[in-house]
Amino acid sequence: MAPITLTHYLALSAALLLIGTIGVLTRRNIVIILMSIELILNAVNINLIAFSHYWHNVNGQIFAIFVITDAVAEAAVGLGILIALFRNKETVLADEVDLLKW
Amino acid sequence: MNFLDQIWLIPLFPLFGAAMMLLFGRKLDPQPPSDVAVVPGLDDLHDEHDPGHHHHGHTHENAHEHVTGHEHSHGGGLKALVSLLCPGMVLLSFIWSAGAVMQLANLPERSHQVIQFTWLAGMPFHMAGGRLATFSADWGFLLDPLSAVMILVVTGIGFLIHVYSIGYMAHDNGYYRFFGYLNLFVFFMLMLVLANNYALLFVGWEGVGLCSYLLIGFYFHKKSAADAGKKAFVVNRVGDAGFILGVLLMFSVLGTVKFVDVNQILRSGQFHAETAGFGVLSAMALLLFIGATGKSAQFPLYVWLPDAMEGPTPVSALIHAATMVTAGVYMVARSSALFQLTPQTSTIVASVGAFTAIFAATIALVQNDIKRVLAYSTVSQLGYMFLALGVGAYWVAIFHLFTHAFFKALLFLGSGSVIHAVGGEQDMRRMGALKNKIPITHWTMWVGSVAIAGIPGLAGFFSKDEILWQAYSSPQGSNVLYAVGLATAGLTAFYMWRLMNMTFYGKSRVAPEVEAHIHESPATMTVPLTVLAAGSILAGWIGTPKLWGLSGWFHGFEQWLEPAFASAAVEAAHEGAHNASTEWILMTVSVAFAIIGIAIARYCYHIRPEIPGAIEARCRPIHRTLLNKWYVDELYDFLFVNGFAKGGGTVLGAFDRNVIDGGVNGAGWLTRLSSSFSIWWDTWIVDGAVRLTSLLVKLSSYPVRIVQTGRVQAYALFVVVGALAFFGYYLAR
């Protein structure tokens, strides 16, 4: 069994990014979209940690912890917006909300 | 006691009396204030009850005095106080004046100044020559022979008239007010004659004008009296403007307004007599003379004096005959040093004086109101005084002022006594045969009339004859001036004896209901009359003609005034040119004129009373012209009252409507025009630019707004596509 190299990590990361992006763009339920965003963020995390390991530099890992913190905050805010939106519009579907239109 | 250093006290006595009356009199007066506008109808009611009396304001006096006899009961205590205080104050002034004058006579230079404090000071001023001077005027008093004569006349005659007023005004409302004004007048008059500079003189000058106004309008609920007061005030303002300009010019040329300094500068030879041209000194003298014409009722500003007879008769006697109207004569005499240097102006003074004398005398010939005859007579006599001043005979002018004060005050007070007797009637056509009913009044007035007519031995003869002689013999005199003066003397004798005949002799024309009440006046009135009559006989004897060769007291007046004018030496030099026989002849002629005047009057109005009517019918236009006072009042009404007030109003109205309003309207029209352009500019250019910008922005927004769907996922897609595009670009490179 060949050892796991940097390339494997990067491939995993790229796959997660792709899945997340497609989820954000295609799914209509905002909960799913938020979950997809988590995927994207974690893809980034994997990337950071992989390079950290490869370069022997802990900066990347510290940065990853920041991203996780940030993701938590973002999820909290996003869910808050979602609940407010549902109270007002009785929907959680992104394409039914076009309040940002001119 | 040193009276000389106390001359500042002399004006203060009457001021105290005036202050007491005017501050407290009203509160003490228990009468209903029916003389005050608060109850305007009350006096009118009285007037309706006894129509014969409303002419003269002391309404109800006769009827009530005889029928009820209770008139004295109201306000008796206060009246007694007023009657003691006010004449008493003037008497104190007279005593102080007499004391001061006696002490003055013992001084070697016969001039004494008391300066109390600097009144106006510290105004730097560029004189005409460019030199910087400081304007200052003292609150100072000057007693010299000239002011000595004046204060004796003012306080002496003033005291007698105050005493007379006690009787005359006894039944009048506003008794305290009358005496308050009268005392205030005496105060200002004394300030006028005692001031040591022109600025302080002007204070008195304006003050007497104020009192004159107040006293002419004493019966102010009567429109004619109120109007007469206003007229006097306004006409005097015209003269005063000239006077104050003259004083200012004097200051800017000479740098001082103090009499002593002015005289000293003018006599120092620094200025030469303006014989050839009309220079700055002539202008100064002329301006001062304009002031004098206003105050002393000379042509053309005499019109206020006859109307001033609306005031109570004692006022006419004191202010409008004996004292205030002579202020102009005094002022010109005071400025003699100036007038001696300005022969041109002096000629004007003499001409105006002579013209006024004969002009007023002609009007007096036909007037029927007893007081108006005397008023025009006063104007005429003042004309004599200016004639004397104009020919350089200053002492003679003051001499005539002095004698005139006696006999004219006497005549006025006598006429007041007559009016009092016939219950307020002033029209001589409703008098006659009063001789035996009011004998004291008759005899005293007879003395006054003889004196003014110029019969030898009485006061008027000496002064008038001296004026005529000076008008003839002085280098500035002329035959014309003499002839005018002589004719006036004849006219004077005529109108005075016309007055006497119409009033005291012939048949009675008094209304029957008044006839029963005719009575001689009380002692407070007859005693002053008697004293003045004595004065009218004796006053002239201190100025007998040089020709008579009397010396000492008999020729004392000229010597007494000599230091004040310092011109006697000049006169004496030329007087020798005419010989004594000329003077005798002229004296005889003037006496003859007087006697002829009296004889004609006696013949026309006593012996053949139908003659005046016949002459009147024959010469109706002349008679009308004289009766209407040469239509001067109408002319002034036309020129100034209507001309300036109404015509000016029309012109100014047209000017207002066309020019001022036109300007305003034009400005408005222009503003509207420019604003409409402004609107157009705003609407099309400014707003247009704004709207164009917005239109462009709007148009350009159409293609852009398509991408703005509002759907979050669309935006995310753009982001992704954009990112991929960058990615692709970098990869492909």
Residues 6+ apart with CB under 8 A from B589: B486
pLDDT of residue B31: 55
Q: Which has the minimum average pLDDT: B15-29, B360-374, B697-711? A: B15-29
Q: Please name the residue of chain B whose CA is at the shortest distance from the CA of residue A23.
A: B713
Q: Please name the residue of chain B whose CA is at the shortest distance from the CA of residue A26.
A: B713
- Does the domain at A28-93 match CATH 3.30.56.10? Answer given as no
Q: How confident is the model at residue B545 (pLDDT cuts 50, 70, 90)?
A: confident
Degrees to nearest 5, angle at CA B269 with B266 and B273 = 75
| Average pLDDT over every residue of B644-673 | 86
Partner A contacted by B705 (CB < 8 A):
yes
- Nearest residue, CB atoms, B720 vs list A25, A33, A94: A25
Q: Tell me the shortest Cα–Cα distance from B702 to chain A, in angstroms.
A: 11
Task: Tell me the CB-side half-sphere exposure of residue B475, using CA atoms within 13 A.
Answer: 13
Residue B655 DSSP symbol: I
Q: Tell me the shortest Cα–Cα distance from B705 to chain A, in angstroms.
A: 7
Q: How confident is the model at residue B512 (pLDDT cuts 50, 70, 90)?
A: confident
| Average pLDDT over every residue of B271-298 | 87
**Could you give phi then psi for residue B557, rounded to 5 degrees?**
-65, -45
Q: Are A94 and B711 within 8 A, CB to CB? A: yes
Return mean pLDDT, chain B. Answer: 83
Q: Please name the residue of chain A whose CA is at the shortest distance from the CA of residue B708.
A: A101
Partner B contacted by A1 (CB < 8 A):
no
Partner B contacted by A94 (CB < 8 A):
yes
Q: How confident is the model at residue B68 (pLDDT cuts 50, 70, 90)?
A: very low
Helix axes of B175-194 and B9-28: crossing angle, nearest 10 degrees: 160
Q: In whole angstroms, how far apart are CA B443 and each of B500, B504, B594, B601?
A: 11, 10, 19, 18
Q: Tell me the shortest Cα–Cα distance from B710 to chain A, in angstroms.
A: 4
Does B34 score more than 70 pLDDT? no
pLDDT of residue B579: 66
pLDDT of residue B59: 40
Partner A contacted by B618 (CB < 8 A):
no
State how far the Cα of B583 lies from the Cα of B595, in Å rounded to an integer: 18
Degrees to nearest 5, angle at CA B609 with B603 and B610 = 120
Other Cβ atoms closer than 10 A to B620: 10
Q: What are the tokens at B575?
A: 């007087």
Give residue-wise pLDDT tens across range B212-235.
999 998 888 888 898 898 889 989
Q: Tell me the shortest Cα–Cα distance from A69 to chain B, in angstroms.
A: 23
Partner B contacted by A85 (CB < 8 A):
no
Q: Which of B709, B713, B718 to mutate to test the interface with A (most CBs of A within 10 A)?
A: B713
Partner A contacted by B733 (CB < 8 A):
no
State how far the Cα of B410 lies from the Cα of B446, in Å rounded to an integer: 10
Q: Are A24 and B708 within 8 A, CB to CB? A: no
Q: How confident is the model at residue B2 (pLDDT cuts 50, 70, 90)?
A: confident
Q: What are the tokens at B330?
A: 């005094």
Residue B321 DSSP symbol: I
State how far the Cα of B304 lies from the Cα of B230, in Å rounded to an integer: 9
Q: Are B711 and A24 within 8 A, CB to CB? A: no
Using an 8 Å CB-CB cutoff, list chain B residues near A94. 711-713
Q: Please name the residue of chain A whose CA is at the shortest distance from the CA of residue B712.
A: A94
Give residue-wise pLDDT tens across range B448-503.
999 998 888 888 888 888 888 888 888 888 889 999 999 999 999 999 998 988 88
Q: Tell me the shortest Cα–Cα distance from B679 to chain A, in angstroms.
A: 35
Tokens 């009913």, located at residue: B437
| Bigger pLDDT: B126 vs B161 | B161
3-class DSSP state for residue A29?
strand
- Nearest residue, CB atoms, A25 vs list B705, B708, B716: B716
State how far the Cα of B174 lies from the Cα of B79, in Å rounded to an integer: 10
Q: Are A102 and B717 within 8 A, CB to CB? A: no
Rg (CA), chain B: 37
State how far the Cα of B453 lies from the Cα of B467, in Å rounded to an integer: 14
Q: Which has the minimum average pLDDT: B70-74, B183-187, B261-265, B519-523? A: B70-74
SS (H, E, C) B331-378: HHHHCHHHHHCCHHHHHHHHHHHHHHHHHHHHHHCCCCEHHHHHHHHH
Partner A contacted by B716 (CB < 8 A):
yes
Cβ–Cβ < 8 Å for B144, B110: yes
Residues 6+ apart with CB under 8 A from B255: B127, B131, B133
Does B46 score more than 70 pLDDT? no
Cβ–Cβ < 8 Å for B100, B143: yes
pLDDT of residue B621: 79
Q: What are the tokens at B305?
A: 């004096």
Q: Tell me the shortest Cα–Cα distance from A38 to chain B, in angstroms.
A: 15
Q: In whole angstroms, how far apart are CA B484 and each of A22, B350, B359, B400?
A: 138, 11, 10, 17
Q: Are A99 and B711 within 8 A, CB to CB? A: no
Q: Please name the residue of chain A whose CA is at the shortest distance from the CA of residue B702.
A: A102
Q: How confident is the model at residue B414 (pLDDT cuts 50, 70, 90)?
A: very high
Does B57 score more than 60 pLDDT? no
Does B568 score more than 60 pLDDT? no
Q: Are B712 and A97 within 8 A, CB to CB? A: yes
Using an 8 Å CB-CB cutoff, list chain B residues near A20. none
Does B72 score more than 50 pLDDT? no
Q: Are A100 and B712 within 8 A, CB to CB? A: yes
- Nearest residue, CB atoms, A95 vs list B708, B713, B715: B713
Q: What are the tokens at B521?
A: 């006046």
Helix axes of B280-295 and B343-364: crossing angle, nearest 10 degrees: 20
pLDDT of residue B75: 54
Q: Are B705 and A102 within 8 A, CB to CB? A: yes
| Average pLDDT over every residue of B426-435 | 83
Write the DSSP string, B682-724.
Answer: IIIIIHHHHHHHHHHHHHHHHHHHTT----HHHHHHHHHHHHH
Q: How confident is the model at residue B33 (pLDDT cuts 50, 70, 90)?
A: very low
H/E element, B138: strand B132-143
Q: Tell me the shortest Cα–Cα distance from A97 to chain B, in angstroms.
A: 7
How long a stretch of residues is chain A? 102
Q: How confident is the model at residue B615 (pLDDT cuts 50, 70, 90)?
A: confident
**Could you give phi then psi for residue B359, rounded to 5 degrees?**
-60, -50
pLDDT of residue B30: 55
Does B35 score more than 70 pLDDT? no
- Burial string for B494-515 (b: 16+ CB within 10 Å, else e) reads bbbbbbbbbbbbbeeebeeebe
Q: Please name the residue of chain B whose CA is at the shortest distance from the CA of residue A29.
A: B713
- Nearest Cα neighbor of B462 from B553, B568, B570 is B553
| Average pLDDT over every residue of B90-99 | 92
Q: Tell me the shortest Cα–Cα distance from B724 to chain A, in angstroms.
A: 12
Q: Which of A:5-24 have CB within 8 Å of B? A: 21, 24
pLDDT of residue B206: 92
Partner A contacted by B698 (CB < 8 A):
no
**Could you give phi then psi for residue B506, rounded to 5 degrees?**
75, -155
State how far the Cα of B131 lies from the Cα of B297, in Å rounded to an integer: 37
Give residue-wise pLDDT tens across range A73-99.
999 999 999 999 899 888 888 888 877
Give residue-wise pLDDT tens across range A44-69.
999 999 999 999 999 999 999 999 99
pLDDT of residue B29: 62
SS (H, E, C) B387-452: HHHHCCCHHHHHHHHHHHHHHHHHHHHHHHHHHHHCCCCCEHHHCCCCCCCCHHHHHHHHHHHHHH
| Bigger pLDDT: B147 vs B644 | B147
Does B36 score more than 50 pLDDT? no
Q: Are B711 and A33 within 8 A, CB to CB? A: no
Using an 8 Å CB-CB cutoff, list chain A residues near B710. 97-102
Residues 6+ apart with CB under 8 A from B268: none
Q: Which of A39, A92, A102 to mutate to test the interface with B (most CBs of B within 10 A)?
A: A102
Q: Are A101 and B710 within 8 A, CB to CB? A: yes
Q: Tell me the shortest Cα–Cα distance from B690 to chain A, in angstroms.
A: 22
Q: How confident is the model at residue B366 (pLDDT cuts 50, 70, 90)?
A: confident
- Nearest Cα neighbor of B350 from B392, B301, B292, B308 is B392
Residue A22 DSSP symbol: H
Using an 8 Å CB-CB cutoff, list chain A residues near B709. 98, 101
Q: In whole angstroms, how far apart are CA B196 and each of B111, B116, B285, B416?
A: 11, 11, 18, 36
Helix, strand, coil content of chain A in percent (nearest 5): 80, 0, 20
